[in-house]
Structure 1
Amino acid sequence: MAEVLEFRVPGGRGRTLLVLGLETDAAEHALYLAFSAFGPLYSVRLRPNAPVAQPGHYALVKYFSARDAGRAQRACNQQSLFQKSPLKVCICTRQRSFPQQTLVLNSHKCQELANHYLGFNSWSSRIVTLQDISGFEEEENEEEASRALPGSQRCKYLCVQELTIPQHSICSRGIGVAEVPVDPSQGFIAAMRGAQKLAAQKALSDAFQKILLVVLENGKVAVEFSSPQDDLVDCLADEELKGLLQVTDLSLSQLNPEGEEEVLSDFSMDDE
């Protein structure tokens, strides 16, 4: 059976492992090395046991793929791995979730996921446009502008970046907006570079959000493009897009909402 993976924070059941019986609080790196052998990891979180339990630690290991998580659970359960006593590894089958919230995956994790399933040098990206929009959204009235604190200047940039996967004939564009306050001790140039870099990272992440990885049972991977047909960022030519960004309000405050991983405070265990 095929498994569809998105370039988003992994959610749903079967992707998170609960590791019990850890003897030390210095096992996070060892956990990452042991469990990443079965597939790319989203996160490894080490926590001390509750005061009412015996001394020790537990960990939550989250995979992008439920298939990888299942293989890891079966191979690692009741194995000592990197310590003397065996570990108990269970699949979290019930988690607190936020079904209406889309959690964006940062560009670094997107690149890691693409490199694992598609291979290094299998994709490339280029910046279509990078614009200073610090004065794009004006103050509502002069009274609010007069109340602005001295030294509260902010640097704001918009970036459009194009992602290409030649082997699968995929071309996707993403848009990102970043705003950075100007630190008087570092100057405007540092803030400008920080805003440019962050906007480019968000644009690359947004481009990856439109791509689906279809992983087959035999390990082969297909790539699908999933984007609304009326998405102007993907439909317009470079010259048209640059002109549009100069005159059109693109609801900048709504672009690329930041998302964090859901809290795994409620779970049940499945030893399979």
Structure 2
Amino acid sequence: MEPEVVTFTIPVESNKIVFVWNITAQLPEAYIYCSLQNVFSQFGPLYSMKLLPNASVAEPGYYAVIKYFSSQSAKSAQATCDKKNLFQDTPVKVQMCVKQKGFPYKSLELYSHKCQELANYYLGFNGWSKRIIALQNISGLDDDSEEESEKHQTKLRYLCVVEVTIPQHGVSSRGVGVAEARIEKPNDPLELISKSGKAQKYCEQRAVSNAFQKILLVVFDGGKVAVEYVPCEDDTVDCLTEEELQGLIQVNDFTWTPLDPGDEDEEDWAELTFHEDSLVDL
């Protein structure tokens, strides 16, 4: 088997997707979902799994769409599980996706918690580490005071630099994340504390994702994994010293990311560790 390159991006290739149907409606939906998760996660890490009811014109039941990070995982799942009973009295059908509508992007950034799950699977929980090099409040660095006064809002902006290290392979990668939150009630300390914490959390998550984008996992037959570092064009973050990173902030080089309430439960902010020099007073 040829080695496969696994990237820390959202998988969009059709050969990483399997369909499962002929799932009986006699079992509870929650039981079916957990059973599918247990069976198909044995072949490799899953990016996503959706359990959907059959169309109204078909017999009552369900079908599932399962997306892997690895095409080899999808192939193994299909070959092993097709026409097997698995968790029910009747066999299910498992087939590879034949065709999928293409995406207009070369790659889609993977959320930080998914990056960490993927790294844990292939490298082990102790096979990699992350640390925050810089976490800074950079609010007010651009000239938008007139816009803020018109809207009676204050922009709260944070920048974070994170380093991901894989010591066994001698690989280190730095990532940058920025986030913006709008304070609607500047005189409300509770809103300021809440929005500050969320903005810090979100920019750290974006920095972790950005760092993993430059890492490639080369998976060989038998489970052996090699790691390659592929920097982006004009990427100077990995070349600078930590002192230079602390003092050099080029706001115009980054795309601001508004705070997304949907990602609030992605990671626990309390578990983050900081260098003393990068702590931010809220």
Shared fold per TM-score greater than 0.5: yes
CA distance in 2, matches of 1:116, 1:217: 15
The one-letter amino acid paired with 1:191 is K
Q: CA, structure 1 residues 252+228, in 2 after alignment: closer, same or farther (shift >3 Å)?
A: closer
- Please say if 1:192 is aligned against 2:232: no
Match of 1:251 in 2: 253
* CA deviation map 1:76-120 (0-9, x unaligned): 111111112211111002011214353111111111111111111
Residue of structure 1 aligned with 2:48, choices 32, 43, 46: 43
CA distance in 2, matches of 1:79, 1:170: 42
- Please say if 1:228 is aligned against 2:232: yes
* CA deviation map 1:99-151 (0-9, x unaligned): 43531111111111111111111111111110112212331x73x34421x3x
Name the SS of the counterpart of 1:130 in structure 2.
strand
Name the SS of the counterpart of 2:202 in structure 1.
helix
Aligned residues: 251
The one-letter amino acid paired with 1:213 is L
Contact in 1 for aligned 2:180/2:257 (Cα 8 Å):
no
**Structure with the larger RCO, 1 or 2 (CA within 8 Å, 6+ apart):** 1
Name the SS of the counterpart of 1:233 in structure 2.
coil
Moved more, 108-117 or 21-30: 21-30
CA distance in 1, matches of 2:243, 2:52: 52
Q: What is the CA distance between 1:60 and its match in structure 2? A: 0.3
Match of 2:208 in 1: 204
Name the SS of the counterpart of 1:176 in structure 2.
strand
Q: CA, structure 1 residues 254+183, in 2 after alignment: closer, same or farther (shift >3 Å)?
A: closer
CA distance in 2, matches of 1:178, 1:156: 6
Q: What is the CA distance between 1:251 and its match in structure 2? A: 3.0
Match of 1:266 in 2: none
Contact in 2 for aligned 1:40/1:63 (Cα 8 Å):
yes
TM-score after normalising by structure 2: 0.83
The one-letter amino acid paired with 1:67 is Q
Q: How does 1:15-26 map to 2 (within 5 A)?
A: 15-24=16-25, 25-26=29-30
Q: CA, structure 1 residues 145+187, in 2 after alignment: closer, same or farther (shift >3 Å)?
A: closer
CA RMSD of aligned residues (A): 2.0
Name the SS of the counterpart of 1:81 in structure 2.
coil
Match of 2:120 in 1: 115
Contact in 2 for aligned 1:183/1:191 (Cα 8 Å):
no
- Unpaired runs of 5+ residues, structure 2, are 261-282
- Please say if 1:219 is aligned against 2:223: yes
Q: How does 1:154-165 map to 2 (within 5 A)?
A: 154-165=155-166
Match of 1:270 in 2: none
Name the SS of the counterpart of 1:230 in structure 2.
coil
The one-letter amino acid paired with 1:147 is E
CA distance in 2, matches of 1:28, 1:47: 10
Over the matched positions of the two proteins, sequence identity in percent amounts to: 48
The one-letter amino acid paired with 2:46 is L
* CA deviation map 1:44-63 (0-9, x unaligned): 11111122222211110111
Name the SS of the counterpart of 2:109 in structure 1.
coil
CA distance in 2, matches of 1:174, 1:56: 45
CA distance in 2, matches of 1:251, 1:230: 11
